[in-house]
Structure 1
């Protein structure tokens, strides 16, 4: 999907959407069979195959990272202070930062933190960054990027059964594991400076070796300022909320980021959400480090424990939670 965005403007995105969507929508299991001979297309929870479109790259055209390498924060000198990272803090383990400058180009990192196998995921088209436990029953899965989109969200696949998984909801939608849900783990996006200040002994994923990518550059320039998502034909959000406005999703509830930035902290429905300035958008300017400030959100319960959540675009929340609850200003 990145190759489509590398040199195009937001105006070109709209034109490309209009010219490619009908052709892509004609895809079906018979068309995909050669590329996916091990996927059981008889098992699916997708209402219509027209929901699944090609994003451009083929299977593994966007290469997931396995066995990522890490260094101490003092040994990292390339990441800008305001650049976003996904933070994973597991009790008893050294806190880890996964820079969005790498996840933008790879979208999935399969890692092992102590005894816990995790998949750290980021879908740029939905701004969705979620960390999953890779265990399903007694099986440990590893994930790759299928090259397909549904509601403009990345469709992942597991290499063990080649079932397809919807990244935004962590659920298999096609194949042997259809209907299986992954457990989401507490993680959050914050600036590199915030991670370092809180975790002076933390570690950070290093630049992947063997790939020619413009790490630190955003191939989706001005995407989060566009009017419509890429390859999306679903309903737009209610309440006049812009399609690419950021919302904080906790379960089936969504808090607009604008509300949090205005109020600083919101406590309701058993959730405490706090907002602080200092994190750059990964989907604004060409340089992520130079992009506009969108702030950092932490989501905790009343006891102060971090909760699984997602900071995603409003259209994606509405697409996957059409009956979801919009937590507007009270």
Structure 2
């Protein structure tokens, strides 16, 4: 995997000069309004390898009862979405290969997203003032993070921040929903009658990790920005709540942290999706939950430190004493 990353990195760097202008992307994106953009330096936009829709996003996926699913390992991560009594699990074994699932949960149109290169799993409300959007994978990366696009206007969206960065919807922000990543065993124990996304009808090696040992690497894929401050390794996981982050190493040692009206908890039992060749055999990175003072779940993300620093350069690092 690391050799493939090095090769792709070399090819992308060769393309950097040519791609440092929206004119380079216009032939692939004739419907995108490149006149409207917040991207100041187009060198930041790189091809991740696959073309537009080369990573096929899912729309209206099928589901089955969690109690009938036998293919998913107990420690495998799933993104749990609970809205208005509708409880669904989106296995990372599928999202690794599709990155976006457009669905409707509890009457709310959602986009469940996972960017493997940033370890960022975020669920957004697909409704914006201009209407309800459906998202696809552009094949582009910015600071190693997935650039999504909406099929309605073909505007480009930064997955990590949920904001349109190019196109007619420039500056529009998606609402992040309070969902979380947990182990399959945790989900089933709590929700045996809940629903789990069915295996998509694509020829993919579901359950296999195509990014073997990525989260133990020292350098992110296709990233040339600054390293995180405070000596934190680039690919250390951090728990982001708004523009604040808590290093997972700190949280996992303490088990629970309450600061600034937010309580973060950690429990072992969830595999890394970016470690071993089999996701089920990845090392234990644990499950994080984030709640407010009343015990309500809050929107958050467990992402790599470099990505937090890239998109929140003035972010607040909660390092403890």
TM-score range with shorter-chain normalisation?
A: over 0.9
Report the secondary structure of 1:95's partner residue: strand
Q: Does 1:216 align with 2:207?
A: yes
> Which of residues 55, 58, 63 in structure 2 aligns to 1:62?
55
CA shift digits 1:28-67 (9 cap, x unpaired): 2211111101000000001111110000110000000011
> Which of residues 96, 109, 114 in structure 2 aligns to 1:122?
114
* Residues 127-206 of structure 1 aligned to structure 2 (within 5 Å): 127-206=119-198
2: CA distance, partners of 1:302 / 1:35: 48
1:286: which partner in 2? 277
1:230: which partner in 2? 221
Q: Which runs of 4+ in 1 moved over 3 A?
A: none
Whether the 8 Å contact between 1:118 and 1:131 is mirrored in structure 2 is: yes
> Which of residues 36, 39, 43 in structure 2 aligns to 1:43?
36
Task: Provide TM-score, normalisation by structure 2.
Answer: 0.97
> Which of residues 291, 294, 298 in structure 2 aligns to 1:303?
294
1:5: which partner in 2? none
Given the superposition, is the C-alpha separation of residues 318 and 66 from structure 1 closer, same or farther in structure 2, using an over 3 Å criterion?
same
Report the secondary structure of 1:13's partner residue: helix
Range with greater deviation from structure 2 (246-255 or 12-21): 12-21
2: CA distance, partners of 1:196 / 1:249: 26
1:4: which partner in 2? none
Q: What's the RMSD between the two structures over aligned residues? A: 1.1
1: CA distance, partners of 2:183 / 2:93: 12
CA shift digits 1:177-196 (9 cap, x unpaired): 01110000001100000011
Q: Does 1:32 align with 2:25?
A: yes
1:115 Cα deviation from its structure 2 partner: 1.9
Whether the 8 Å contact between 2:111 and 2:125 is mirrored in structure 1 is: yes
Report the secondary structure of 2:252's partner residue: helix
Whether the 8 Å contact between 2:8 and 2:49 is mirrored in structure 1 is: no
Task: Provide TM-score, normalisation by structure 1.
Answer: 0.95
Range with greater deviation from structure 2 (182-191 or 19-28): 19-28
Report the secondary structure of 2:277's partner residue: coil
1:241: which partner in 2? 232
Whether the 8 Å contact between 2:12 and 2:46 is mirrored in structure 1 is: no
1:199 Cα deviation from its structure 2 partner: 1.2
1:17 Cα deviation from its structure 2 partner: 2.2
1:105: which partner in 2? 97
Q: Does 1:23 align with 2:15?
A: yes
1: CA distance, partners of 2:130 / 2:163: 17
CA shift digits 1:194-239 (9 cap, x unpaired): 0111112211001001x11000000000000000000000000011
Whether the 8 Å contact between 2:164 and 2:171 is mirrored in structure 1 is: yes
1: CA distance, partners of 2:10 / 2:317: 29
1: CA distance, partners of 2:130 / 2:309: 33
Report the secondary structure of 1:235's partner residue: coil
Report the secondary structure of 1:26's partner residue: helix
1:83: which partner in 2? 76
